[in-house]
Amino acid sequence: MRREQTPLQRIAADFGESRLALSGLALLALIVLAALFAPLISPQNPYDLAQLDVLDSRLPPGSRSGAGLTFWLGSDGQGRDILSGIFYGLRISLMVGVASTACAVIVGLSMGLCAAYFGGRTDSLIMRIVDIQLSFPSILIALILLALLGQGVGKTIFALIMVQWAYYARTVRGTALIERGKEYIEAATCLALPPARIVFRHLLPNCLPPLIVIATVQVAAAIALEATLSYLGIGVPITEPSLGLLIKNGFDYMLSGKYWISFFPGIALVLTIVSINLVADRLRDVLNPRLQQ
């Protein structure tokens, strides 16, 4: 009974039906804005060591620094304002998570579709590479890569792409193999449609729903993995902490009662991931062609 809508309008309308998803979207928008405008809204540039004073270190929330700045969420071991640190850290964490996942999806999707569609030697070759890739524990690939490359945001993103792409390739292949056996693909093949058209118009859309589920999880995983790498002393540089690194820096103080160093960045991280997931959850329901009645 719907009016004629463009697909985008339809998706937007469907999306808006869930209040939870809308609030997730609002939260995510706020977080992205905070990250984008971090230099404008932060009381302090937490990455400029010259602006920090170790004499302001580990002050509880609400304290004032020697220079008269108020640390609303307290300060860390270098006298870094936690609030500013969160804004700047959000930038890095979001960038690392989104950029690495996006690249990994593109690589993994292409590889997985190729493997499933062409089969035979192509499939064999790609899946053996995937096997090699998956045989390495992800932390280990990242660890060895970063040990060779050194610290840095770009290098961390690269390492995370290398870690993730094979998951997508394997999942896409698995789903695509099932889809390939279905009648509509056989029909398309019988119609002698070009391979590219079959892959992109028929196989791809059907592989998307599970991919979105996993990609959603992987954005979170990428951010968490980045934190884990930082926990192990590699990953992003210590002078430009991501959320994960902020958590790690305050980690040692959790048992000694100075909770704010780790707690607030932890909350920011959780809120970020939760909001991404709420949005993506709804998107998946909305995008799934078979759920469209």
Residues 153-172 that bind other proteins (CB under 8 A): 167, 170-171
Instruction: Give whichever of 68 and 257 is closer to other proteins, judged by the CB atom.
Output: 257
| In the complex, minimum distance from the CB of residue 270 to other proteins, in angstroms, rounded to a whole number | 5
Instruction: Give whichever of 8 and 148 is closer to other proteins, judged by the CB atom.
Output: 148
| In the complex, minimum distance from the CB of residue 120 to other proteins, in angstroms, rounded to a whole number | 7
257 near other proteins, rule: CB under 8 A: yes
150 near other proteins, rule: CB under 8 A: yes
Instruction: Give whichever of 30 and 49 is closer to other proteins, judged by the CB atom.
Output: 49
SS (H, E, C) the chain: CCCCCCHHHHHHHHHHCCHHHHHHHHHHHHHHHHHHCHHHHCCCCCCCHHHCCHHHCCCCCCEECCCCCEECCCECCCCCEHHHHHHHHHHHHHHHHHHHHHHHHHHHHHHHHHHHHHCHHHHHHHHHHHHHHHHCCHHHHHHHHHHHHCCCHHHHHHHHHHHHHHHHHHHHHHHHHHHHCCHHHHHHHHCCCCHHHHHHHHHHHHHHHHHHHHHHHHHHHHHHHHHHHHHCCCCCCCCCCCHHHHHHHHHCCCCCCCCHHHHHHHHHHHHHHHHHHHHHHHHHHHHCHHHCC
Applying CB under 8 A, the site for other proteins has a residue count of 83
19 near other proteins, rule: CB under 8 A: no
| In the complex, minimum distance from the CB of residue 113 to other proteins, in angstroms, rounded to a whole number | 14
Among 30-38, 104-112, 189-197, 212-220, the segment contacting other proteins (CB under 8 A): 212-220
Among 35-43, 101-109, 195-203, 247-255, the segment contacting other proteins (CB under 8 A): 247-255
Pick out residues in 43-102 that bind other proteins (CB under 8 A). 49-50, 52-55, 57-58, 77-79
